[in-house]
């Protein structure tokens, strides 16, 4: 069989390979476009919701934005001269993905409202079952199911007794009026900070419940004016230069800072965060409450030019006493105070160990994904799992996450996956999956390298697995780029289908 992408003779099989893509978020739309552009048009994208856009469809809270600059957080092949801000709002990003999908003509491949419930490897291919009862069959499955996807709900006594409205930040209830109301926000992560900053002037009173303070980098977010946009429209090279510069800044500075806790970049980040706190929070008592006792970027760094102003707004209160329980009228903290509220937002993050689950995935020899991941999710180079042949993940476990463009990550991964697909199709269909030995070696090197990262310098965060080991890629972005350039086929099991 020939994918049509290699030099091997075409027409060896009556049909080309069939792909199933799970998820129509950023990575699923990317996969659809790239497959189509490669002439591989026998595929379906299954999307459980009724719109594409993934995280940008689901997160609609006030202030939602991407803290990766928009000219970097765009597909490399679909730059957008019209971004409104350096860090554009979430709705604009959602519209961008919809627009790109439309322009590239891939919406027709998306089956909306169709949740994949089961993937079973049988007779050299994948049986696909959906929650609606439909079935499909694929030679290749690309799991583009996202990372920060499954809301984590806190285990707080009495939540169900609250008389007002309570919802997770990723399930914002837009029927709830904010004007003049008393809003509570639990959490101090990126979501909570964006919500507080955006809502503080609208609400009557805002209580932010802080369990752990966060370091905040105060990068400004100016609008991109019409002259600049016009320049980008007429001179794509100028827009590309901006993207290249941003990519360099992220890869050289930020990536080095997080993977080497002792690097000059890590120290600089710390200095910038300390200066932001010192210079922008006037009251020493509040400043002390907001000052973390761990290294900057140990938790995922918050990027916000406005948070310190927002938390000093007369409407805002930073509550640092621990939450005891939720009662019908509000949140009671352990000091006995009842913080009365009309609405309560759980900005409490996501279950980051799920990946393509809850899909029931069964690989070669009947091994289930639950068995393969019984200790924790792992994948060779974040892409492939032993005994799950021709199933590849984008933004799977152990990949680069954090303050990076996950679009760059997914594009590199997709190009790598297509090289595996080419190998699988070069001489009749073959089954390709990472070898157990290569996966074990990768995992032990990864765990060793993780010891040098800033993520293990003494904080709790979603980067850490149940052993306290960062689950993320612990090396430089350059190393990731190099790893993705060309698969080392010695690390793969390749057998005829």
- Can you give the binding site for ligand NAP, defined by CB under 6 A? 65-67, 148, 154, 156, 169, 186-192, 194, 211-212, 300, 323, 347-350, 460, 462
CA R_g for the chain: 23
H/E stretch holding 423 reads helix 406-425
Q: Which is nearer to ligand NAP, 347 or 454 (CB)?
A: 347
SS3 185: strand
Q: Which is nearer to ligand NAP, 13 or 174 (CB)?
A: 174
Q: How far is the CB of 431 from ligand NAP (least distance, A)?
A: 34
Distances (CA, A) of 451 to 261, 297, 375, 473, 492: 9, 15, 19, 12, 27
Q: Which is nearer to ligand NAP, 65 or 420 (CB)?
A: 65
Is the peptide bond preceding residue 358 cis, with omega within 30 degrees of 0?
A: yes
Q: How far is the CB of 156 from ligand NAP (least distance, A)?
A: 6
Q: How far is the CB of 288 from ligand NAP (least distance, A)?
A: 17
Torsion angles phi and psi, residue 22, rounded to 5:
-105, 115
Q: Which is nearer to ligand NAP, 273 or 347 (CB)?
A: 347
Closest CA to 470 of 299, 296, 269, 250: 299
Helical spans, DSSP H, in 299-405: 307-311, 369-372
Closest CA to 302 of 461, 92, 466, 469: 461
Q: How far is the CB of 188 from ligand NAP (least distance, A)?
A: 4
Is there a contact between 369 and 363 (Cβ–Cβ < 8 Å)? yes
Q: Which is nearer to ligand NAP, 67 or 408 (CB)?
A: 67
Q: How far is the CB of 48 from ligand NAP (least distance, A)?
A: 20
Q: Which is nearer to ligand NAP, 157 or 248 (CB)?
A: 157
Q: How far is the CB of 455 from ligand NAP (least distance, A)?
A: 12
Q: How far is the CB of 210 from ligand NAP (least distance, A)?
A: 7
Q: Which is nearer to ligand NAP, 351 or 452 (CB)?
A: 351
**Would you tell me the crossing angle of helices 477-485 and 406-425 to the nearest 10 degrees?**
20
Is there a contact between 400 and 480 (Cβ–Cβ < 8 Å)? yes
Q: Which is nearer to ligand NAP, 70 or 433 (CB)?
A: 70
What does DSSP assign to residue 492? E
Give the integer Cα–Cα distance in Å for 172 and 299. Answer: 24
Q: Which is nearer to ligand NAP, 12 or 460 (CB)?
A: 460
Q: How far is the CB of 323 from ligand NAP (least distance, A)?
A: 6
Q: How far is the CB of 173 from ligand NAP (least distance, A)?
A: 16
Q: Which is nearer to ligand NAP, 34 or 348 (CB)?
A: 348
- Taking CB atoms, the residue at the shortest distance from ligand NAP is 189
Distances (CA, A) of 99 to 52, 79, 361: 10, 12, 32
Is there a contact between 101 and 28 (Cβ–Cβ < 8 Å)? no
Give the integer Cα–Cα distance in Å for 431 and 139. Answer: 9
Q: How far is the CB of 318 from ligand NAP (least distance, A)?
A: 12
- List Cβ<8 Å contacts ≥24 apart for 233-242: 233/81, 233/82, 236/79, 236/81, 239/71, 239/79, 239/81, 240/79, 242/71
Q: How far is the CB of 494 from ligand NAP (least distance, A)?
A: 35
DSSP class per residue in 128-145: EEETTS-EEEESEEEE--
Q: Which is nearer to ligand NAP, 31 or 194 (CB)?
A: 194
Which tokens in the block code for residue 347? 């900005």
């Amino acid at each position: 069989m020939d994918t049509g992408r290699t030099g091997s003779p075409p027409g060896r099989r009556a049909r080309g390979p069939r792909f199933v893509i799970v998820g129509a978020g950023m990575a699923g739309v990317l996969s659809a476009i790239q497959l189509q552009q490669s002439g591989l048009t026998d595929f379906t994208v299954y999307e459980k919701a009724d719109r594409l856009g993934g995280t940008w469809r689901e997160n609609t809270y006030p202030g939602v934005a991407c803290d990766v600059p928009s000219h970097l957080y765009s597909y490399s092949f679909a730059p957008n001269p019209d971004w409104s801000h350096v860090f554009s709002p979430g709705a604009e990003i959602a519209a961008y993905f919809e627009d790109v999908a439309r322009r590239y003509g891939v919406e027709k491949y998306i089956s909306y409202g169709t949740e994949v419930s089961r993937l079973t490897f049988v007779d050299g291919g994948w049986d696909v079952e959906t929650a609606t009862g439909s079935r499909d069959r694929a030679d290749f499955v690309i799991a583009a199911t996202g990372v920060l996807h499954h809301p984590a709900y806190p285990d707080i006594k009495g939540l169900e007794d609250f008389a007002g409205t309570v919802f997770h930040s990723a399930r914002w209830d837009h029927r709830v009026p904010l004007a003049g109301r008393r809003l509570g926000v639990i959490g101090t992560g990126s979501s909570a900070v964006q919500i507080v900053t955006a809502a503080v002037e609208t609400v009557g009173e805002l209580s932010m419940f802080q369990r752990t303070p966060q370091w905040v980098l105060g990068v400004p977010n100016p609008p991109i004016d019409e002259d600049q946009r016009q320049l980008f429209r007429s001179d794509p090279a100028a827009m590309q230069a901006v993207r290249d510069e941003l990519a360099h800044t992220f890869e050289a500075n930020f990536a080095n800072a997080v993977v080497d806790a002792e690097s000059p970049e890590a120290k600089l980040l710390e200095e910038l965060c300390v200066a932001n706190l010192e210079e922008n929070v006037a009251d020493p008592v509040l400043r002390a409450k907001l000052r973390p006792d761990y290294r900057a970027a140990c938790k995922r760094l918050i990027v916000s030019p406005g948070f310190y102003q927002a938390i000093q707004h007369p409407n805002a209160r930073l509550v640092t006493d621990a939450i005891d329980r939720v009662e019908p009228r509000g949140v009671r903290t352990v000091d006995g105070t009842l913080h009365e509220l009309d609405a309560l937002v759980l900005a409490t993050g996501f279950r980051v160990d799920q990946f393509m689950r809850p899909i029931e995935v069964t690989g070669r020899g009947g091994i289930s994904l639950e068995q393969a991941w019984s200790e924790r999710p792992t994948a060779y180079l974040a892409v492939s799992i032993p005994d799950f042949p021709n199933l590849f993940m984008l933004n799977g476990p152990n990949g680069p996450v954090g303050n990076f463009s996950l679009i760059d990550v997914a594009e590199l991964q997709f190009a790598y996956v297509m090289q595996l697909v080419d190998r699988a199709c070069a001489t009749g269909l073959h089954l390709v999956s990472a070898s157990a030995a290569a996966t074990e070696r990768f995992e032990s090197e990864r765990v060793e390298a993780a010891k040098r990262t800033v993520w293990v310098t003494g904080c709790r965060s979603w980067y850490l697995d149940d052993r306290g080991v960062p689950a993320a890629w612990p090396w430089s972005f350059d190393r990731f780029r190099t790893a993705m350039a060309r698969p080392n086929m010695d690390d793969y099991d390749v057998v005829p289908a």
